[in-house]
Amino acid sequence: MPAQLLDGRQIAKRMRERLAEARQTLGDRPVRLVSLEVGQNPAADVYVRNQQRAAAEVGIAMEVENLPVASTEAQLVEAISALNRRADVSGIIVQRPLPHGIDPRQVQMAIDPHKDVEGMHPANMGSILYREPLLPPCTAAAAQQLIVATGMDLRGAETVVVGHSEIVGKPIAVLLLHHLSTVTVCHIGTRNLADHTRRADIVVVAVGKPGLVHGDMLKPGACVIDVGINQGPDGKIVGDVDFASANEVAGFLTPVPGGVGPVTVAMLLRNTLRAAGASV
């Protein structure tokens, strides 16, 4: 029997409906998200357009600022500082990839943590250890939301997170630990990845390598969350999980595209409303 698909587009749509109601509770208070991009990147532009469409649906104004491609780190940080000072700006997002010579960590740290709606500032990253972060990292929160949507009992569930990046793998592991799931984090030093994934009730893959996880590496009935976004040689977007083989073994599976991505955007909007003072 094929896996039950976790439809991120549907989940995100329902979230946006709830977020639009939360937006109303703020009345005339400005809720503005500003996207900063250095140069022009076609892939980032697609994300920006998706974010703009979703923001408009919720009633959040989104402003897009494009800095010249030759901008220095200091100039980008100055642009961020100006946004930090603007009372009408609730949230700031810096689009990636950034040109060589600009350190993404320095840039992220320049954002006022109260406006860091991607949840990547060390203050927000650190706060997830305390269980109730105001602005959690969006992709990690999206992966968590998709797992919770399955209705599975996470307490005691064997969970394997593949990938240990600061912005995705590590925060996902921490969020799932709060559910009393038994979490193993696999990475480049892991000896035999399949030994771990085969015993997992939940597998989250966030690496950026197409086809890294195959159906024969999964326990029958497992919940598989594919965070990866990779462009194939034919231009098609694929995840890190081989969809066809995983679909025959998994109990739940996120498609790529249409899984984690749309829910991540909804989390960005939720964080923007929270930054503006909404209880959501």
| Non-local CB neighbours of 111 within 8 Å, separated by 6+ positions | 80, 84, 92, 94, 121
Q: Does 163 bind ligand NAP (CB under 6 A)?
A: yes
Q: In the bound complex, what is the minimum distance in angstroms from residue 206's beta carbon to ligand NAP? A: 4
Out of 80, 128, 147, 207, which residue is the one contacting ligand NAP (CB under 6 A)? 207
Nearer to ligand NAP, 39 or 104 (CB): 104
Number of chain residues interacting with ligand NAP (CB under 6 A): 25
- Within residues 169-198, the interface with ligand NAP by CB under 6 A covers 169, 186-188, 190, 193
Strand pairing class (230-231; 237-238): antiparallel
For residue 129, CA distances in Å to 23, 202, 252 come to 28, 21, 27
What number of other Cβ atoms are within 10 A of residue 115's Cβ? 23
CA nearest 170: which of 153, 181, 182, 184? 184
Measured from the CB atom, the residue of 26 and 109 that comes closer to ligand NAP is 109
Residue of the chain from 124, 139, 144, 159 that contacts ligand NAP (CB under 6 A): 139
Q: Judged by CB under 6 A, does residue 165 bind ligand NAP?
A: yes
Q: Between 59 and 208, whose beta carbon lies closer to ligand NAP?
A: 208
214 binds ligand NAP (CB under 6 A): no
Contact present, 265 and 140 (Cβ < 8 Å): no
Cα 116 to Cα 19, 84, 99, 124, 193: the distances in Å are: 18, 10, 21, 8, 34
Question: In this structure, how many other beta carbons lie within 10 angstroms of the beta carbon of residue 210?
Answer: 18
Q: Which of 260, 268, 275, 280 binds ligand NAP (CB under 6 A)?
A: 260
d(C-alpha 178, C-alpha 141), whole Å: 12
Judged by CB under 6 A, does residue 162 bind ligand NAP?
A: yes
To the nearest whole angstrom, how small is the minimum distance from the Cβ of residue 232 to ligand NAP?
12
Does 264 bind ligand NAP (CB under 6 A)? Our answer is yes
Minimum distance from CB of 187 to ligand NAP (Å)? 5
Choosing from 66, 127, 184, 230, the residue that interacts with ligand NAP (CB under 6 A) is 230
d(CA 178, CA 149): 16
Q: How far apart are alpha carbons 145 and 158 in whole angstroms?
A: 17
User: Measured from the CB of residue 233, what is the shortest distance to ligand NAP in angstroms?
Assistant: 16
Furthest C-alpha separation in the chain: 56
Nearest to 52 by CA among 277, 271, 257, 269: 269
**Of 108-116, 126-134, 153-161, 223-231, which part binds ligand NAP (CB under 6 A)?**
223-231
Task: Give the binding range for ligand NAP (CB under 6 A) out of 103-111, 148-156, 174-182, 208-216.
Answer: 208-216
Give contact residues for ligand NAP (rule: CB under 6 A): 139, 162-165, 167-169, 186-188, 190, 193, 206-209, 212, 227-230, 260-261, 264
